Amino acid sequence: MTEENTEAIVHYSLEKSVALIEMDDGKNNLISPTMLHQLNQALDKAEKANAVVILTGTNEVFSAGFDLNILKSGVVNTFKMLIGGFKLSKRLLGFPTPVVIACNGHAVAMGAFLLLSGDYRIGAAGAFKIVANEVEIGLTVPHSAIEICRQRLNPAHLNTSVLLSRQFNPTTAVDAGFLDKVVPEKELRATALEKANQFAALNLQAHQKSKSRMRKDLLKDMSRAIRADKIEFFMMGLKRVFGVRK
């Protein structure tokens, strides 16, 4: 079955100048090749419409990160997923219109990096965890993830977040830099829409040019980091294949 013919796990709707993009795989909104493909399709539509974006999840999970089953399925799909995830973050960081993240629950690993890639991040209050847990589960943090964290997290929290897998709740996540605002869960959608409409009233051409100017160095650093991750993931794949053959 081709990606185009798979079940929709990303829902897109456009209301005036605001595009709502909702991840909904029925479980943890895992970042898989299919999720990435559909997210990019939705962003293509939003970009064509010159719409402000709201990116959110469903139930109590924004995203629990990469799909670990893909990591077990083979080198090609794993490579496509990992690099695709960080290319998506880079796309969000350079997106021509404002990007609002409505974090409806847990944001873990790649989910936390996507959260950090928005222009304005609103979190739902609750017993939710926001964490870059790579070190905790025995993974070296990718170059791209470090660049994302370096540019959005407050310096006082950067080391504990990246190197010690410190876990935050929505309230403490504001001080750390993962979120800009926390609201009651029932008010999340309305608040995100209010902010998106507010941003839609900006001069979007000025927004785009200012974003390009302000994030020029970051986007260059992201490109370099993604290239470094490509090499590292490729070498890991070769070692994996060699180990199987051996």
pLDDT tens, 5-60? 679 999 999 999 999 999 999 999 999 999 999 999 999 999 999 999 999 999 99
Give the pLDDT confidence score for residue 93 in this predicted structure: 98
Q: What is the pLDDT confidence band of residue 244, given thresholds at 50, 70 and 90?
A: very low
Element (H, E) at 20: strand 18-23
**What confidence tens digit (pLDDT) does each residue in 197-233 have?**
999 999 999 999 999 999 999 999 999 999 999 998 8
pTM of whole model > 0.85? Answer: yes
Residues contacting residue 111 through CB under 8 Å, at least 6 positions apart:
29, 31, 61, 62, 63, 64, 65
- 3-245 topology per CATH: 2-enoyl-CoA Hydratase; Chain A, domain 1 (3.90.226)
3-class state of residue 12 by DSSP? strand
Mean pLDDT of 104-108: 98
Cα–Cα distances (Å) from 220 to 155, 186, 215, in that order, read 21, 38, 8
Looking at residue 246, its pLDDT comes to 39
pLDDT given at position 45: 98
Strand pairing class (181-183; 99-103): unpaired
Domain residue ranges in the chain: 3-245
Dmax (CA) for the chain in angstroms is: 61
CA-based R_g, the chain, Å: 17
